[in-house]
Amino acid sequence: MATRKLLLLPGDGIGPETMAEVRKLIGFMNESHGAGFEIEEGLVGGSAYDAHGKSISEEDMAKADAADAVLFGAVGGPKWDSVAYDVRPEAGLLRLRKDMELFANLRPAICYPALSDASSLKKDVIEGLDILIVRELTGGVYFGEPKEIIDLGNGQKRGIDTQVYDTYEIERIAGVAFELARTRQNKVTSMEKRNVMKSGVLWNEVVTRTHAEKYSDVALDHMLADAGGMQLVRWPKQFDVIVCDNLFGDMLSDVAAMLTGSLGMLPSASFGAPDGKTGMRKALYEPVHGSAPDISGKGLANPIAMIASFAMCLRYSFDMVKEAEMLEKAIADVLENGLRTTDIAAPHAETVSTSEMGDAVLERFRSLT
Ligand code: NAI
Ligand code: MG
């Protein structure tokens, strides 16, 4: 039996509440299907700070390094507002992303049929939607140097951020997008602004060359990122995989996410380079939402984003595609049966708690497998 090493980092706020629902699923898969998940647990964010004064310990960083995949809950909140910048809860997540070199951020936007009325867009625009945004996560304008505020001495200041991309960074993110497209509708749309940015010219050139050399079986389109934003809202179903840089990806993935629904529904994955020995990519899976301090500890959190992040983990880290699909179907079925946590419920509708939602997904998953 294969062992699959998973590190769970629930974090703080609603993180531990939603992670508890994933733990139930892992337990079930180990007991009934011999899935062989070997679980380690660690502290990150506020829970780590409260325990030992750091946002993540070296010991837990080592566990992340040894794991096949990391499941991350959420971190942050007003409780830790006054702690020093480099040990604040969010620093733990940034450290993980940086040390694991997670350069590819994947955010799917799918429409669950039962929630197709919940979008601000017309039903026929989003019904059946299933797109994937692949965002470059470790380069571009968020990291480029110089990055500073200069005092010009005449009562004026100058803020500077620098957009920098090297060929290898574009090649590797394009490679991830093309590989993923092959497992989906085989179509990639690359977005940049080559009309006004040199890095956009290079982006376009390298994506085009990478495509021609290695992935010519995949359909490739280019779109200017601003036009892409319009098209995402006008007719999102024209897309399959969208690949873009860090800044455009940040904005476009938020737009795409909100095409369909609540923050409590949205999973994400981040990948690093494949391991030289095993070929496996370092990966971290986490919901898009934060620690939701306003509802934490009340059993109100929607666990679906966390559970759907685990489904992504099954698909991408462990090649358990059938199980991932069944788990996603279990989520869709439970929604179809009318179960709602408060964030996705109509006003005055009956709602269920975090653990009731988790139990319902587990029950449905059990009956499907
Ligand atoms: P948030 O995502 O925590 O919450 C925004 C709103 O959505 C809140 O009203 C919250 O109750 C609701 N919400 C979020 N997830 C939900 C779920 N699963 N079920 C039901 N409702 C849900 O974002 P906010 O309030 O801006 O940030 C709170 C803290 O989280 C901050 O400290 C922030 O830095 C941190 N944060 C952490 C992230 C992470 O751990 N990856 C990502 C985003 C924010
Ligand atoms: Mg953002």
Helices (H) and strands (E) in the chain, counts: 12, 12
Place of tokens 């992303």: 97
* Ligand 1 atom 33: residue of nearest CA: 76
pLDDT at 276: 81
Q: How far apart are CA 50 and CA 219, in angstroms?
A: 50
**CB-based contact 301:295 (threshold 8 Å):** yes
Which ligand lies nearest to the CA atom of residue 137 in the structure? 2
Which stretches of the chain drop beneath a pLDDT of 70? 1-2
**CB-based contact 8:25 (threshold 8 Å):** no
pLDDT at 57: 97
pLDDT at 263: 86
**CB-based contact 242:189 (threshold 8 Å):** yes
Q: Binding residue per annotation — 79?
A: yes
pLDDT at 262: 78
pLDDT at 1: 53
The interface predicted TM-score (ipTM) is 0.97
Among the atoms of ligand 1, which is closest to the Cα of residue 80?
32
pLDDT at 213: 98
Question: Greatest CA span in the chain, whole angstroms?
Answer: 71
pTM of the model: 0.94
Say whether the peptide bond before residue 146 is cis (omega within 30 degrees of 0).
Answer: yes
Q: Which of 326, 305, 331 is nearest to 315 (CA)?
A: 326
Distance 172 CA to ligand 2 centre (A): 22
Q: Binding residue per annotation — 80?
A: yes
| The two domains 1-110+267-369 and 130-258 share their CATH topology (first three levels equal) | yes
* Ligand 1 atom 34: residue of nearest CA: 76
Query: What is the enclosing helix (H) or strand (E) of 287?
Result: strand 281-287
Q: How far apart are CA 188 and CA 177, in angstroms?
A: 7
Which ligand lies nearest to the CA atom of residue 17 in the structure? 1
Asked: is 1-110+267-369 a CATH 3.40.718.10 domain? The reply is: yes
Residues at CB less than 6 angstroms from ligand 1: 14, 74-77, 90, 93, 263-264, 286, 289-295, 301-302, 305, 343
DSSP line for 171-234: HHHHHHHHHHHHTTTSEEEEEE-TTT-HHHHHHHHHHHHHHHHH-TTSEEEEEEHHHHHHHHHH
Architecture of the domain defined by 130-258: 3-Layer(aba) Sandwich (3.40)
Digit-coded pLDDT (tens) for 156-205: 999 999 999 999 999 999 999 999 999 999 999 999 999 999 999 999 99
Phi-psi map region of 156: left, alpha, beta (phi>0 left; psi -120 to 50 alpha): beta
Domain extents in the chain: 1-110+267-369, 130-258
Q: How far apart are CA 90 and CA 92, in angstroms?
A: 5
DSSP line for 198-213: HHHHHHHHHHHHHHHH
Q: Which of 8, 11, 144 is nearest to 88 (CA)?
A: 11
